[in-house]
A and B are shown apart, each in its own frame.
Chain A
Amino acid sequence: GENVEQHPSTLSVQEGDSAVIKCTYSDSASNYFPWYKQELGKRPQLIIDIRSNVGEKKDQRIAVTLNKTAKHFSLHITETQPEDSAVYFCAASTYTDKLIFGTGTRLQVFP
């Protein structure tokens, strides 16, 4: 079955710097790769996603890139702000809508 690895597990950056979180997946049939943000004590919420027919997608300060050959995808956050502090999860799925999640990255943005 699918396996998703996520790195790093914790990431600390200064406000205004960029943050990058990386994930690798094992199943070459996976075709959908979302990223979820979870603030402390709250539910995960989708922030951006990408499908296998696209290499990059941007939404304001966040972007996701996908390398199908290497089976990895990354989340990029530019101009980080304290409110970006949260746990971020990557996930992957095949043609079903069943997601397999990575283990999460705790991002801390220091003012």
Chain B
Amino acid sequence: NAGVTQTPKFQVLKTGQSMTLQCAQDMNHNSMYWYRQDPGMGLRLIYYSASEGTTDKGEVPNGYNVSRLNKREFSLRLESAAPSQTSVYFCASTTFYEQYFGPGTRLTVT
């Protein structure tokens, strides 16, 4: 039982490049989330998916897109990366309130 997994662990992009962050969970959870964590800002919700086939914007969705591929997988895409998107990205999943987090992806945009 791996819980919530994320790939890659680290990534460096140049401004304007695109990439997709992958997230998968094996706990049969319905809801999945993408957060970004910046110093002094806590965890801010980018997008979430309450169930397979549905996605909704969170607090800071601009510059991101998501896909809930199936119940297990929820990906986050940066179409044209900007230095302001330098952050640590966490994926999480839940069924009844408690959120289980992945190990995070540290993204640097130069």
Contacts and interface: CB of A to CB of B under 8 A. Distances in A.
A36 B42 CA distance: 11
Contacts of A44: 43, 90, 101
Task: Identify the interface centre among A32, A34, A98: most chain B CB within 10 Å of its CB.
Answer: A98
Given A9-B40, A43-B90, A43-B104, A100 B45 contact: yes
Contacts of B33: 98
Nearest to A43: B101
Interface residues of B, number: 23
Contact of A99 (B40, B50, B99, B103): B99
A93 B33 CA distance: 14
Query: What is the interface of chain A mostly: helix, strand, loop, or mixed?
Result: loop
Interface string B35-58: 100001111110010100000001
B34 to A, nearest CB: 12
Contacts of A98: 33, 45, 48, 58
Interface residues of A, number: 22
Given A43-B104, A46-B99, A97 B31 contact: yes
Interface of A: 1, 6, 9, 32, 34, 42-46, 49, 89, 93, 96-104
Given A49-B98, A89-B43, 9 more contacts: A1-B59, A43-B90, A43-B104, A44-B90, A97-B31, A97-B96, A98-B58, A101-B43, A102-B42
20 contacts: A6-B42, A34-B97, A34-B99, A43-B90, A43-B101, A43-B102, A44-B43, A45-B101, A46-B99, A89-B43, A97-B50, A97-B94, A97-B96, A97-B97, A98-B33, A98-B48, A99-B45, A101-B42, A102-B42, A103-B41
